[in-house]
Amino acid sequence: MPLTLIKGTFSIKGAAPDGDSIRFIPDDPSLWKKLENRVRTNRLGGAQLRLDAIDALETHYQPRNGGLGTQRQPEKFGDKAASRLLDLLGFDSTTVKRGKREIVTDADPDTVPGYILSRFADIHGRAIAFAFRGNCDREDGDTIFVSQELLQQSANYQLVAEGLVYPTFYSKLYLELRQALTAVSGEARSSNSGLWTEDVTNTGFNLDSLKTITEDVVILPKLFRRLLGYLAINDRSVDLAGFADFLEASNDRVLVLSEGKITGLDNLVEIDDQNLKLTKKPEDLVFMEE
């Protein structure tokens, strides 16, 4: 499970960190070149991180098509995950002030030292990483094999353990890390921690209006994003008659671990009139990278 160690600073002022993404400025920006795929950086060499293996409720998401504008999932767990991530990395979330689009206008402190473990960037140029607070005694740029103990120190793992994010796996995640995160996610679900008290991803819900998914129900963010994309091109109608076709065209390929087969996300969503549910648990799925 070798990943590249990159030391630096987490920075939030002027950015919009949420429960699974944050800006990171490396001490040595040249280390980005050690990762698979190109990382998009700013003038300081800083880049947006996407925390590996987790998905937090959306706090400011805008579908690419249509005129729905920026939307979010229910505030309770989206905001809690965003605040908890900051605290886990060493910020004081109680001092954070946000403006439009959740952009941080003030915080004390607004930067903290930390480090990440990563090996690739996604198609959007975001480094896919495990994030840690404070300092690491290894050399910057070292290749590190991630133990169970080290994984448990990551903000990613702790957010899953507290039930504040969904486990959401992609095919480049190492098997041992996925298994450890699956186990702790199961513990959080069994103990009804965090968002698991209200999650209806697998039990289902009736889509009555846009408000249903933005204010009322707690569902896997991947499903939320696809629903919002569909509604954005559906003339604001919430009629689900065309949603299966929309999902098929989106071409999300998924490995169902319990069945050992790869299929489309459209085959894992059950639609009955206006009732909708995912037929497999999130931790039973491994999405193929785009």
> Which of 105, 141, 119 lies closest to 5 in space, CA to CA?
141
Confidence of residue 290 (pLDDT cuts 50, 70, 90): confident
Domains and CATH numbers, the chain: 2-195 (2.40.50.90), 198-287 (no CATH)
pLDDT more than 70, % of the chain: 100
* The pLDDT value given to residue 235: 83
* The pLDDT value given to residue 1: 72
Mean pLDDT of 186-193: 97
**Taking 80 as the threshold, does the pLDDT of residue 152 lie above it?**
yes
Confidence of residue 17 (pLDDT cuts 50, 70, 90): very high
Reported as a single tens digit per residue, the pLDDT across 57-110 is 999 999 887 678 899 999 999 999 999 999 999 999 999 999 998 999 999 999
* The pLDDT value given to residue 66: 67
Reported as a single tens digit per residue, the pLDDT across 192-241 is 999 999 999 999 999 999 999 999 999 999 999 999 999 999 987 999 99
